[in-house]
Amino acid sequence: MRHPQMPKKIEEAEISMSTSLFESPKPMTRHEVEIDRVEKFQTSRQQVQKYFNDMVQKCKNVGTTFVIYQWGCGNEANVLLIHEHLPVAHWIGNVELKLTTVTIGGRIVPRSHELTPDKHGKAGLVRD
Task: Decide if pLDDT at 85 tops 70.
Answer: yes
Q: Is residue 56 part of a domain?
A: yes
Phi, psi of 83 (to 5 degrees): -60, -35
Q: Please report the pLDDT score of residue 28 as a whole number.
A: 66
Q: Is residue 15 part of a domain?
A: yes
In 3D space, the residue among 63, 50, 79, 44 whose CA is nearest the CA of residue 120 turns out to be: 63
Q: Is residue 1 part of a domain?
A: no
Q: Is residue 3 part of a domain?
A: no
pLDDT band per the 50, 70, 90 thresholds, residue 77: confident
Q: Total domain count for the chain?
A: 1
Q: Is residue 32 part of a domain?
A: no
Cα 39 to Cα 61: distance, rounded to the nearest angstrom: 32
Residue 115's domain spans which residues? 9-25+37-127
Percent with pLDDT over 70 in the chain: 94
Q: Is residue 101 part of a domain?
A: yes
CATH number of the domain bearing residue 78: 3.50.7.10
Q: For the segment 5-57, what is each residue's pLDDT rounded down to a tens digit?
A: 888 899 999 999 998 777 666 666 677 778 888 998 898 888 888 888 888 89
Are 97 and 108 spatial neighbours (Cβ–Cβ below 8 Å)? yes
Are 126 and 33 spatial neighbours (Cβ–Cβ below 8 Å)? no
